């Protein structure tokens, strides 16, 4: 399923940092979606699956944050701004 706002993004103008930041937002949104759905699930198995999906989405967000921080550090080092 395509994200409705992704169709309107100026992809050619986005930096890798911008793209990673947007991806992090999407992962957090997905995490929250699964958490909310889990809270409404009447079936224990369904609730557990949705909670597991929420944990996976959080893991994706954490991985992307790490990549973004490494990218920023690399860029800082290249411009001489890092200690």
Residue 55 domain-assigned? yes
Look over the chain and give the mean of its residue pLDDT values, rounded to a whole number: 92
pLDDT digits (tens, 9 = 90+) for 19-59: 999 999 999 999 999 999 999 999 999 999 999 999 999 99
pLDDT at residue 82, as a whole number? 54
Give the CA dihedral 14, 23, 32, 2, nearest 10 degrees. 80
- Per the structure block, which two tokens stand in for 56? 């996976």
Residue 73's contacts (CB-CB under 8 Å, 6 or more residues apart) are 82
Query: 74 lies in a domain?
Result: yes
In a domain? residue 8: no
Q: Above 50 in pLDDT, residue 1?
A: no
- Is residue 80's pLDDT more than 50? yes
Q: Considering only 14-18, 34-38, 48-52, 76-80, which range has the smallest mean pLDDT?
A: 76-80
DSSP class per residue in 40-78: H--SHHHHHHHHHHHHHHHHHHHHHHHHHHHHHHHHHHH
**Residue 2 covered by a domain:** no
pTM of the model: 0.85
CA distance 18 to 35: 26
Domain-located, residue 3? no
Judge whether 62 lies within some domain. yes
In a domain, 9, yes or no: no
Tell me how many domains the chain contains.
1
């Amino acid at each position: 399923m395509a994200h409705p706002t992704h169709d309107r993004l100026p992809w050619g103008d986005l930096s890798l940092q911008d793209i990673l930041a947007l991806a992090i937002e999407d992962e957090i949104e997905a995490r929250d979606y699964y958490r909310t759905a889990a809270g409404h699930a009447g079936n224990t198995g369904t609730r557990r699956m949705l909670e597991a999906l929420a944990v996976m989405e959080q893991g994706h967000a954490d991985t992307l944050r790490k990549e973004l921080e490494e990218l920023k550090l690399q860029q800082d080092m290249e411009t001489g701004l890092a200690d």
